[in-house]
Structure 1
């Protein structure tokens, strides 16, 4: 089973309301609290005011490492691979899109990128799965001051072994499948 996260990055969300006026959580959002979580039986919305567009890298760090692929919308200038969704009659394909790997469309286009019909979701999913989704049963990520630190296999193994040794000491801890550590030094 693939772990997929879908997201949207759109200017139209600016000022969007995820709660009802007058409720406590709504007042927290309006007061620009550092972070507000609106929780219901079928949704969880995290509202965190920012002063500028949040880079995708920061969003990934905030959401954690539990996804094989993250599908986003509206991040044309990010350095990640992209699939353009193009509808007939909406004009030409976007120009100067870096790392365009495919176009999902309802018409045949003149482009070097691979094209997929909107109805051919299986082939598009195969492209993503073969070329971009690399499930890692074992994964360790390190962020220092919110920036990712690239680790080679040797430090990954050392960090993993040390952390597992530390948390394996209590007899109640068995079958560790995930471990999260947070450190703030301020």
Structure 2
């Protein structure tokens, strides 16, 4: 399993880019999973449904299963937020894991930058950013800058710079 991240400010287009990259990787025969970090509370469950009632009643985990999919909901109930290594350990093996968010973690990342966002770029202060997908030229970036719409080249770059899972886990250990 290999891991690469997408980092950027909210509104830069990380999710939009990711939804274009996943089909590109699928066409290439690369099995992809994603991890998305949210900075806010979120819910995957519908109020009033049985699984929602189980969580509301205090279940630590609720596993929902059908003929089409299964999902495991884990309530933290005051515990610390899971780290990226902990989340990576929960995934089934695939060829490539694309992490959206976790921009402060040391794994290799592609910065997604959109000038209209009017935010400062991340790459000058983050050596783990290996390339930039942007609608702006960064002549002094010191790393590849790829147009936001050049999906095949971005996919090539992500796959070439993805780190083995063991390397990501050992980087995280070194930070503890």
Q: Return the structure number with greater relative CO, CA threshold 8 A, min gap 6.
A: 2
Structure 1 residue aligned with 2:85: 57
Q: TM-score, normalised by structure 1?
A: 0.62
Taking a change above 3 Å as real, the CA distance of residues 97 and 131 of structure 1, as seen in their structure-2 partners, is closer
If you compute each CA radius of gyration, which structure gives the higher value, 1 or 2?
1
Secondary structure of the residue aligned to 2:125 is: coil
More helix by share: 2
> Among residues 101, 106, 109, which one is paired with 2:135 in the alignment?
106
TM-score (norm 2): 0.66
Listed as ranges, the matches of 1:29-178 within 5 Å are 29-39=55-65, 42-50=68-76, 51-64=79-92, 66-90=93-117, 91-94=119-122, 96-110=125-139, 111-132=141-162
Q: How far is 1:43 from its partner? A: 4.8
The structure with the largest strand share of the pair is: 2
* Distance change >3 Å, CA 114–CA 23, structure 1 → 2: same
- In structure 2, do the counterparts of structure 1 residues 40 and 105 end up closer, same or farther at CA, with 3 Å as the change threshold? farther
Q: Which runs of 4+ in 1 moved over 4 A?
A: 40-43
**Which structure 1 segments of 5+ residues have no match?**
135-140, 142-146, 149-186
Quote the RMSD (CA, aligned, Å): 2.6
| 1:120 to 1:84, Cα distance in 2 relative to 1, 3 A | same
Unaligned runs of 5+ in 2: 1-28, 171-176
* Offset, 1:85: 0.8
Alignment size in residue pairs: 135
